[in-house]
């Protein structure tokens, strides 16, 4: 897991975090509360969980009001579904 912001970097934070961790983008899930962050995750080939804050809608793979709403296996299921879809090659 990587959390944080990287200022002054040309690449989006999710891409930088995945590279630093040595994890392929298809095995990453980004948790975001902003549409731009969700879109950056998708452009990088990652899945996204959207947490509603001030945005009425989020283009995420799964949207919740709080992370407490996620079942214990939500991340595993999201990665599994992504791999089955053929997008996670």
pLDDT, tens digit (0-9, with 9 covering 90-100), for 12-52: 677 788 888 899 999 999 999 999 889 989 998 999 999 99
- Asked if residue 44 lies in contact with residue 12, where contact means CB atoms within 8 angstroms, the answer is yes
Within a 10 A sphere around the Cβ of 14, how many other Cβ atoms?
23
Claim: this prediction has a pTM higher than 0.85: no
Lowest mean pLDDT among 40-44, 46-50, 57-61, 85-89: 85-89
């Amino acid at each position: 897991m990587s959390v944080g912001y990287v200022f002054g970097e040309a690449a989006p934070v999710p891409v930088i975090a995945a590279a630093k961790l040595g994890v392929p983008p298809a095995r990453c899930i980004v948790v975001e509360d902003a549409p731009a962050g969700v879109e950056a995750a998708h452009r990088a080939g990652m899945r996204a969980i959207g947490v509603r804050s001030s945005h009425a809608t989020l283009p995420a793979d799964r949207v919740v009001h709080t992370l407490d709403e996620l079942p214990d296996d939500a991340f595993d299921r999201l990665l599994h579904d992504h791999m089955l879809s053929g997008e996670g090659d």
